[in-house]
Chains A and B, each alone.
Chain A
Amino acid sequence: MSFVFYILAALTIAGGLAAMLLKNTVHCALALTVAFAGLALLFLNLDAQFAGFAQILVYIGAVAILVVFAILLTKGSETPKDGVFSRSWLAGLAIAAAVFAVLSWAVLQSTRVLPHETAVPEVTVREIGVALVGRYVLPLEIVAVLLTAALIGAVIVAMHEKVGHEKEEFQ
């Protein structure tokens, strides 16, 4: 366990906690990007260069921006008067705590069988690319179809129903 790991883990957890606890929604989104950046650095710390950069590109460059756009479009940055947590917050917290307890218990129980420090795997981007179009070509194609479907679906869902509105206004 290196010093770098502790710093990155603290950064990620702090970002995640802030994203879930802060009152202002935009601050939550910005804290979320901190968590994403921490995760990307953890990926790099795990010698997964490609996944780390893809994480930054997709999450910080696209998902975080999408989230802040959605917040501004829904006027979500105004803090509601009756608190930011739902009525059943206690149950949610209890469930989350239970999940964490179970997961950490499982991890700590299996420490003996978990492998120790191993050699750094030498994986080039080229190998990832070859694997993507070789062994994993079917999932790749399915993801492509999924992304296309999601693209069209998101456009249709978020599109303004222009025709309907005009009709309403005429009547």
Chain B
Amino acid sequence: MFETHLSETCDQIFILLQHWLVSFLPASWQSAASVLLSVAAIICLFAALFALTTVFERKGLARMQNRIGPNRVGPFGLFQPIADGIKSLTKEDIVPSSADAVVHFLAPVLLVVTVFMGFAVLPMGRNMVLVDLDAGLLFYFAMGASTELAVFMAGWSSRNKYSLLGAMRAVAQMISYEVPLLLSSVAVVMITGSLSLTKIVEAQNQYTWGLPHWYIFTPWGFAGFVMYAIATTAETNRSPFDLPEGESELVAGYHTEYSGFKFALFFLGEYVAMFSISGLGTTLFLGGWSAPCSFLTWIPSWIWFFSKLMLSIFVFIWMRGTLPRLRQDQLMNFAWKFVLPMCLVNLLAAGLWRFMGDGWLRWVVCSTILIAAYAGMGFAEMRRQRLGPRSYRYAE
């Protein structure tokens, strides 16, 4: 009895803390204060996570390349982000003389604001959601779509050909991959019957024989998750889809002309977008804050959410350490000729899954459809030498 109570307290510790802090204020201020407190907590938490991730990314990438990575500032180089932060804060803020100063200033601000807005609807633990919107997923995608405009503003206002090219690439890429991103999430919405992210997590927080009902453990969920992962990598401009800032041809893409704190904001925006979109993927396919086994539910829900989030970040870093950058035409062909059709087939599979009722038949039918589509499309693509192994004309 006492143990359940303790684990319950641990689970809800942030909620209890918030209620305790707010209780000092007069009653009329309490609702506003609790919202402000949550917002401040989210911003501080993810900014801190951003700082930690930068150093872990550098160290992880180094290990994948058999190097050591940053280890000079503080123990094991853990204070490296502080040094980086001081550097970017003290740097001169340069605005090109021909740049459009107002738009140039607004772009990073808009990017960071829209990126942080996405966290408003993400459930980070049991009862830990800022606003439980009925159309939460739609809100998330609406905010995600607005970041494209910030990227365009940054590229256009810099009056630099590299910035503009990078921005155009980024916007084209983000629009192209937004379609599979939305379609892979639509499958989840179809099964759950709700756009509310808390409802989606609750639907997955059930156990059969100690195993969770996460959507990734279903055929359509697994295919959807793979498509979602590909689309998010492109959406956050991460390697191997980091063409918008391909340093070998575009200097730094749309933030070429940004320095100092504004550049740090872009950097922050990129990482926070990665966290938020990983958090959404966790919520949609990996059961959000639910525990992976029924006997592990005593561990607080927010620990599960953040460990899944960091695992996704590790996969992002892992992919960055492995895969080379794609070419623009490969990127577009991949989106429109492979990922999008696969997402449509996946929608079909999800619909069949929904209407075939329980039993083993739906597993067989859905898996067959998806595997056949994957194998067929993959074979066709490789035959056309679009996605197959490369032939080198001059090397070797």
Contact = CB atoms under 8 A, between A and B. Distances in A.
Contacts of A27: 103
Chain B contact residues: helix, strand, loop or mixed: helix
Contacts of B134: 49, 124-125
Interface in B324-339: none
Contact of B171 (A40, A50, A69, A124): A69
B146 A61 contact: yes
Contact of B153 (A30, A57, A77, A125): A30
Chain B interface size range: 20 to 34
B226 interface: no
B230 interface: no
Nearest to B147: A61
A62 B145 contact: yes
Interface in A6-45: 26-27, 30, 33, 40
B145 A49 contact: no
B152 interface: yes
A65 B135 contact: no
Q: By CB atoms of chain A within 10 A, which of B133, B142, B194 has the most?
A: B142
Contacts of B141: 53, 57, 61
A147 interface: no
Interface residues of A, number: 23
A54 B145 CA distance: 11
Interface string B132-156: 0111001101111110110011001
A77 B146 CA distance: 21
A138 interface: no
A43 to B, nearest CB: 11
A144 B390 CA distance: 39
B142 A61 contact: yes
Interface of B: 103, 133-135, 138-139, 141-146, 148-149, 152-153, 156, 164, 168, 171, 175, 178, 193-196
Given A40-B142, A77-B156, A126-B194, 15 more contacts: A26-B156, A30-B153, A53-B139, A54-B138, A56-B142, A56-B146, A60-B146, A60-B149, A61-B144, A61-B148, A65-B149, A68-B156, A72-B156, A72-B168, A125-B195
The 6 closest A-B pairs by CB, nearest first: A61-B145, A56-B142, A53-B138, A57-B142, A53-B142, A125-B195
